[in-house]
Structure 1
Amino acid sequence: MDKVYILGGLRSYVGVVNGMYRHVPAEKLGAAVLRQVMDKYQALRPDYIIGGNGVGAGGNITRLMALEAGVDISVPAFTVDVQCGSGLESIATAAAKIAAGEADLIIAGGFESSSTQPRRGYAPNHPDYEGDSWYSVAKFMPGVHRETVMLEGAELACQREGVTKEELDAWVLRSHRLAAAAQAKGLLQNIIAPVFDAVKDEGVRPRMSQRLLDRMPKLLPGGQFITAANSCLINDGAAFVVLCSEAYAKSHGLRPAARVLGSAACGGDPLVSPRTAVAALQKLLAKHGLREQDIDDFEVNEAFAVIDVLFARAFGSSVEKYNVFGGALAYGHPYGASGGIITLHLLEALRQRGGRLGCAGVAAAGGVGTALLLERVD
């Protein structure tokens, strides 16, 4: 198996739904970031472009994005949809292709525009047809199709795991505090591709406070836990990394940022999908014979604060090396792009903190967890 490296990558600033990117379709937002990535790393004709996307128009939207970016028509592109896990699974797929000797250079990541996502509805012949009604949240499990299903899953996870409001609040405050500090110090500027006149991540709230959290109403009727603060916002964004083989890096005189050591995916109860992020990390570590103490930095997509709570309970000695720049509760969660975003944050955490091994993890709708293991290259 060939060694697989990540040269680096870029992400857009993350916008909130109907915010700064409200009139920018997903393929144009992704194309703007992709173009900067290709130029920065001189990856003008990769073997593949693999893009994660969860709520776009379908029809292999990654190919459309590549063409919008002016990529040569000879370059193939395909789309991965594992909802929240799409971007990370795209990177894992790219690494597997290179490791198998099927490619030497691949750009992978994801892009999303919730602001311009299409309306969807069932055809009259479908058994779930209910007139001319639309839905925005896909069906993730048999027999259940509601717009609130992800919120219900997080609520159920809190109930089943005995999570407290105090635990959730602490993670919300931490995420915004760390993200605001990273923003003020410019700690992530190295991985930002400013596009469409954006100047900051819209979701970060430097003034997030306990008083504000205490006033937050519950999002579900009869709910006890889930609020707009301890669940991520709805977002737009894009992020891509450049992966290559060892032979490609050597022949082009390139210095990679990290080596991809492996990935793992797992399934879990689709009604309680937040659990799968930790489950995927545990599977990945076991697969490579590692303990949590061996990992220098963790990045997990905190779509809900309950994911943070579950991480802290499973990896109690690793809290200080977890989401060190803040997480999705502050930045937001542009579904298809989030795997790329946390991979880039992980690369920066390893670089800035001098760590060697790092793990990224995502819990996806439908009960699928994905995790990635990286080794920083000196």
Structure 2
Amino acid sequence: MASSDSIKPRDVCIVGVARTPMGGFLGSLSSFSATKLGSIAIQCALQRANIDPSLVQEVFFGNVLSANLGQAPARQAALGAGIPNSVICTTINKVCASGMKATMLAAQTIQLGINDVVVAGGMESMSNAPKYLADAREACEFRGFLTNGKFSYFDKRKMVGSSLVISYSKIIFWNFKSTVLILYMKPNPLISRYSFLPYFLNRKGSRLGHDTIVDGMMKDGLWDVYNDFGMGVCAEICADKHSITRDDQDSYAIESFERGIAAQNSGHFSWEVVPVEVSGGRGKPSTIVDKDDGLGKFDAAKLRKLRPSFKENGGSVTAGNASSISDGAAALVLMSGEKALKLRLQVIAKIRGYADAAQAPELFTTAPALAIPKAISNAGLEASQVDFYEINEAFSVVALANQKLLGLNPQKVNAHGGAVSLGHPLGCSGARILVTLLGVLKHKNGKYGVGGICNGGGGASALVLELMQVARVGPSSL
């Protein structure tokens, strides 16, 4: 039993956590938007913290595939959870590390004395990521002026001002493209009174014929824009560089499933998962989803027979030893030590330190090996003091390579399974691994834990937790 002396006024305390089950692609949670999943996680985390939503001062929530969600996804999730309209909400996109970065930013506001109660986390519905029809916008191409019947070509490089155009054409806004000016016109019945008129030519955007549809999930979530290839190619580069074989990856993936199934069967995930009621539709009864979809699809023999997904000849990364496309959300309620003690709340853990790191985009897979030591140092700890690690299993090779680079004991990494077996909803995972890490520390009697997660573009984030054993000493005063 820790005393209140171990909690300082500006310590960042975690007083409530929750995550939804991880739904498979087009699986059990596919009928929910990311923002709805976020609302479910936030609402449950607040209930578990035993605090009223009106106490929340700010919300930081991660989300990567925001297209078609509507404005301000984090705010939608917050208001849907009953958080007041007056609360500031910010959506964070650091690709896979979004949920963890949101937690880090929330922690900073508490450490700086800006806030006392902040909600952080992340959400994603990869099942509902839309597809895009690129270049489908229409506009007109401004070529010049017709003055008294004569055409004068317009050269934007010689343009000094646009007062003439604005005065006589009632233009709303404009932007430059190529060597001409694109104008968006507002009808003006008086324009015929003038002897000089802007001249437009050609329809822009989608032309007659077929168009190419872009997969929003691939484009904005799973594609290396710097090298123009899938993230799985980066995993293949990592496997080659660090001599990690197909068998190594398959064996790791199988163990991830076995650990996840064992944790589920032991009831360890019930501490973190909030059951979700899913409507049956058309008069059918609703169902309760309280287990991660991926754990029910495990077949070790089949996994070892899968073909490589990203490299035909000699490839080692498959759909089985990579993380699965998923839907889900996770939330954490953070509070200053001063506020937690005042309200006599149970403190689950403290955030001791955190850090980011980055390297070449195609090497994002091993960026956690840079961020994790920085975070441990920032926490004032030594690596030898860390009891358990959560390293996001974007691919099995990611966990294996970072274990190898950091010299970690595999038994201390992802003790309850990881993204390969549970799922990897992009904007959610950084927060999900923190919630799972708390469960690991709780059930395995650990004190210090480190979560690390890589992200597209070459980055990574890491965060250090200290599990506390402070019980309520009286009813909370809301």
Q: Do the two structures share a fold, i.e. TM-score over 0.5? A: yes
User: Residues 124-183 of structure 1: CA distance to partner in whole angstroms, max 9, x if unpaired?
Assistant: 6889x994422322366655445xx11111111111222111211221011000001111
Q: Which residue of 2 aligns with 1:215?
A: 305
CA distance in 2, matches of 1:116, 1:74: 29
Kindly provide the CA deviation profile for residues 55-90 of structure 1, in whole angstroms up to 9, marking residues without a partner as x.
123632111222233321111211000110000101
Kept in 2, the 8 Å contact 1:239–1:340? The answer is: yes
Pair 1:168 & 2:168 matched = no
TM-score (norm 2): 0.74
Partner residue, 1:19: 27
For 1:179-211, what per-residue CA distance to the aligned partner results, in whole angstroms no more than 9, with x for missing partners? 0111111111011111132131000157532x3
The whole-number CA distance in structure 2 between the counterparts of 1:106 and 1:287 is 22
Which amino acid is the alignment partner of residue 134 of structure 1? V
- Give the secondary structure class of the aligned counterpart of 1:373: strand
Residue in 1 aligned with 2:425? 334
- CA 1:276–1:67: 2 relative to 1, 3 Å: same
Q: Which moved more, 1:109-118 or 1:310-319?
A: 310-319
Given that 2:99 and 2:430 are in contact with CA atoms closer than 8 Å, whether structure 1 keeps it comes out as yes
SS in structure 1 opposite 2:114?
A: coil
Query: What's the % identity of the aligned pairs?
Result: 28
The structure 2 residue matched to 1:103, chosen from 115, 132, 135, is 115
3-state DSSP of counterpart to 1:203: helix
How far the C-alpha of 1:34 sits from its partner, in A, is 1.6
Which whole-Å CA distance do the structure 1 matches of 2:136 and 2:242 have between them?
41
Mapping for residues 15-164 of structure 1, pairs under 5 Å? 15-41=23-49, 42-45=51-54, 46-57=56-67, 59-123=71-135, 131-136=211-216, 137-138=218-219, 143-146=226-229, 149-164=230-245
The 1-side partners of 2:411 and 2:131 are apart by 42
- 1:292–1:318 CA contact under 8 A, matched in 2: no
CA contact (8 A) 1:205 1:330 kept: no
Q: 1:281-305: per-residue Cα shift (whole Å, max 9, x none)?
A: 1222344454322101111111100
Report SS of the residue matched to 1:363: strand
SS in 2 for 1:204: helix
Deviations 1:211-245 (CA, angstroms, capped at 9, x unpaired): 32331111124251110111111000010011000
Q: Compare 286-295 and 7-16 and name the one that shifted more.
A: 286-295
SS in 1 for 2:389: strand
Report the count of equivalent residues.
374
CA distance in 2 between partners of 1:29 and 1:284 (Å) = 29
Structure 2: which amino acid aligns with 1:68?
A: G
Pair 324,117 (structure 1): closer, same or farther in 2 beyond 3 Å: same
- What's the RMSD between the two structures over aligned residues? 2.1
- Cross-structure match for 1:249: 340
The answer to whether the Cα contact below 8 Å between 2:59 and 2:74 also exists between their aligned partners in 1 is yes
Whole-Å separation in 2 of the counterparts to 1:91 and 1:360: 12
CA offsets per residue over residues 77-121 of structure 1, 9 Å max, x none? 110001100001011111011000010001100111011122235
Q: Does the CA contact (< 8 Å) of 1:176 and 1:206 recur in 2?
A: no
**1:250-278 Cα distance to aligned partner (Å, 9 max, x none):** 11001211111111001111112111122
SS at match of 1:362: strand
SS in 1 for 2:276: coil
Q: Give the one of 250, 268, 273 matched to 1:192.
A: 273
**Structure 2 residue aligned with 1:346:** 437
Q: Distance in 2 between matches of 1:110 and 1:353?
A: 26
TM value normalised by structure 1: 0.93
Structure 1 residues 363 and 43: CA distance shift in structure 2, 3 A: farther
Q: Does 1:181 align with 2:262?
A: yes
Contact 2:121-2:428 at 8 Å conserved across structures: yes
Which structure 1 residue ranges, 5 or more long, are not aligned? Answer: none
CA contact (8 A) 2:22 2:423 kept: yes
1:332 positional shift: 0.4
Aligned equivalents of 2:408, 2:226: Cα separation in 1: 40
Secondary structure of 1:273's partner? helix
Distance in 1 (CA, whole Å) between partners of 2:441 and 2:291 is 23
Indicate the residue corresponding to 2:358 in structure 1: 267
Contact map agreement 1:91 1:340 (CA 8 A) in 2: yes
**Among residues 220, 229, 232, which one is paired with 2:320 in the alignment?**
229
Radius of gyration: which is bigger?
A: 2
- The CA distance in 2 between the partners of 1:240 and 1:89, in whole Å, is 13
Q: Which amino acid aligns with 1:269?
A: A
**Alpha-carbon deviations, 1:320-356, whole Å to 9, x = none?**
1111111111000011111111101111111122222
Moved more, 275-284 or 132-141: 132-141
Distance in 2, matches of 1:206 and 1:174, equals: 14
**Alpha-carbon contact 1:165-1:225 (below 8 Å) kept:** yes
Change (3 A) 1:150 1:142: closer
**Range moving further from structure 2, 274-283 or 361-370:** 274-283
Greater alpha carbon shift after TM alignment, 112-121 vs 233-242: 112-121
Name the amino acid aligned to 1:167. Answer: D
Shift of the alpha carbon at 1:50? 1.1
